[in-house]
Amino acid sequence: MLLRTRPAIRSSEITDKKLYLRRREFIQAAAVTAVGAAAGTLGVPQADAAPSWPRVKVPNFAKSPYGADEKPNAYQDATTYNNFYEFGVEKEDPSNNAGPLKTKPWTVKVDGLVDKPADYQLEDFIKPYALEERIYRMRCVERWSMVIPWIGFPLASLLKTVQPAPTAKFVEFTTLFNPQQMPGQRRDVLRWPYVEGLRLDEAMHPLAILAVGLYGEYLPNQNGAPIRLVVPWKYGFKGIKSIVRIRLTDRQPMNSWQLSAPSEYGFYSNVNPSVDHPRWSQARERRIGEFFMRPTLVFNGYGDQVASLYAGMDLKKNY
């Protein structure tokens, strides 16, 4: 019997690597610097080198009111410190290893319990929908968070186009499987290809989007190019990247982390500070670029919009 094991949590997985390396420097400085002066320097990462991947502007998108009062993280934070196990398990692996991924041409299959199944070329897949920028708080199960300006369109818009059958209850998403381009898939870290799922009513919620860009530009490979899911009230691993298939079904999909470690990861994966991961508390989080931790918000702060989806459910049991 083949057993898959997850890498043990590393300090770099719960703290911005730049800040982790500077902790001793901060403590030494704090001993000789007034508190007020020291506070002004907290969470200021060192400048990084210019990115080596192509940066292409998205030509037409609208600004939405979502997150307009939020301060986004730096572009470099979001593009060099993230999870994408298809390219490696370390936070810097995606930005270092995702260059060979070919995103043109790209086909997205939509099938299952829909009235209008089809194989779409990416350009045709996106064309009917107006793109807009939404600034969302994003929370990782590893206790770190960011604020990212995504560019995309509501997943509900696509679902209305393909017309789910009355028996459809769930939406299943699948990532590209190509070990030649995705070296992480050569390792038995997860069952490949990566699969995620939502309940249909979750997928139809206006906060759930299919993203094609961030920071005014098309997605770089390491962030899920050319199209990915963003569900801001759930932990980040629900945001499946480099999607090639969207299937509607009457059965709850088993997502990849659920298959790999069912005692640690459930189907819903809603941000809930009262449900600890078996190996660490979820009550607090560290915003990348900040030194001090902050309280974790229920549903990542989007409870007013999404709590009704889970009325009557035991959210500790349905984690």
Give mean pLDDT, residues 288-317.
Answer: 96
- Beta strands (DSSP E) in 219-307 are 228-230, 243-249, 284-287, 294-295
Alpha-carbon span 186 to 86, nearest angstrom? 9
CB 286 within 8 A of CB 145: yes
CA 34 to chain centre: 38
pLDDT single digits (tens) 43-63? 434 444 556 799 999 999 999
- Cα distances from 68 to residues 63, 64, 176, 213, in angstroms, run 9, 8, 33, 17
pLDDT single digits (tens) 125-148? 999 999 999 999 999 999 999 999
CB 156 within 8 A of CB 205: yes
The 3-state secondary structure of 101-151 reads CCCCCCEEEEEECECCCEEEEHHHHHCCCCCEEEEEEEECCCCEEEEEEEE
Q: Domain for residue 1, yes or no?
A: no
Q: Domain for residue 6, yes or no?
A: no
Give mean pLDDT, residues 95-122.
Answer: 97
Check pLDDT > 90 for residue 304. Answer: yes
DSSP state of 291: S
pLDDT at 32: 32
Alpha-carbon span 94 to 83, nearest angstrom? 7
Extract the tokens encoding 147.
Answer: 């604020």
Residue 254 maps to which CATH number?
3.90.420.10
Alpha-carbon span 139 to 271, nearest angstrom? 7
Task: Calculate ∠ Cα 124-130-134, nearest 5°.
Answer: 120
Domain ranges, residue 133: 13-310
Alpha-carbon span 79 to 92, nearest angstrom? 9
Comparison of pLDDT for 4 and 107, the residue scoring more: 107
Alpha-carbon span 221 to 213, nearest angstrom? 11
Give mean pLDDT, residues 268-280.
Answer: 96
pLDDT at 50: 52
Q: Domain for residue 299, yes or no?
A: yes
pLDDT single digits (tens) 160-177? 999 999 999 999 999 999
According to DSSP, the residues that pair with 136 across neighbouring strands are: 148
DSSP state of 225: T
Q: What percent of the chain has pLDDT over 90?
A: 83
Q: Domain for residue 91, yes or no?
A: yes
Side-chain half-sphere exposure of 136, counting CA atoms within 13 A: 27
Give mean pLDDT, residues 116-121.
Answer: 96
Q: Domain for residue 315, yes or no?
A: no
pLDDT at 51: 62
Q: Domain for residue 19, yes or no?
A: yes
pLDDT at 2: 41
pLDDT single digits (tens) 76-99? 999 999 999 999 999 999 999 999
pLDDT at 52: 76
Q: What is the mean pLDDT of the chain?
A: 88
pTM for this entry: 0.86
Q: Domain for residue 7, yes or no?
A: no
Alpha-carbon span 109 to 200, nearest angstrom? 18
Q: Domain for residue 282, yes or no?
A: yes
Task: Give the total number of structural domains in the chain.
Answer: 1
Give mean pLDDT, residues 181-193.
Answer: 96
Comparison of pLDDT for 20 and 41, the residue scoring more: 20
Q: Which amino acid, one-letter code, is at 292?
A: F
Q: What percent of the chain has pLDDT over 70?
A: 84
Cβ neighbours around 79 below 10 Å, total:
23
**Nearest alpha-carbon partner for 227 in 318, 105, 144, 113:** 105
Task: Calculate ∠ Cα 58-245-235, nearest 5°.
Answer: 75
Alpha-carbon span 230 to 30, nearest angstrom? 39
Task: Calculate ∠ Cα 89-245-225, nearest 5°.
Answer: 50
Extract the tokens encoding 268.
Answer: 């819903």
Check pLDDT > 60 for residue 14. Answer: no
